[in-house]
Amino acid sequence: MASLSGWRTLPPGAVILEPGSSVKYKTASWRTLRPVIDQEKCIRCRLCWTYCPEPAILELEKPYTAKSGRTYKVTYEIDYDYCKGCGLCAEECPVKAITMVEEVR
């Protein structure tokens, strides 16, 4: 884990000087549960992507063909570098395609 700098090193007002700098700070280290998406159950409704507060759900232009033969143009995946394991996505998924499992490190 990177060492934290003291408050004296912050710019006045703690303003963000570099756009997009939050990408550098991976926020997943304290996660205790991890969401796992069952691609077979997922109906690509996008609700998990909409509700994720990080956002740690990736909407990828990656076709997926289910066992039923139906092909989807997009695939939703979790970005485990930023997912904090809050479980909102699993709570909101209308078809229960997301399961929260214990994080193992």
Closer residue to ligand SF4 (CB): 8 or 67: 67
All residues at 6 or more sequence positions from 56 whose CB lies less than 8 Å from its CB, including other chains: 28, 78, 79, 80, 81, 82, 83, 84
Beta bridge partners of 60: 75
Q: Which helix (H) or strand (E) covers residue 51, if one does?
A: helix 47-51
Show the binding pattern over residues 71-90: x = contacts ligand SF4 (CB under 6 A), - = does not: -----x-x----xxxxxxx-
Closer residue to ligand SF4 (CB): 9 or 32: 32
Name the site residues for ligand SF4 (rule: CB under 6 A): 35, 37, 42-48, 52, 54, 56-57, 76, 78, 83-89, 93, 95, 97-98
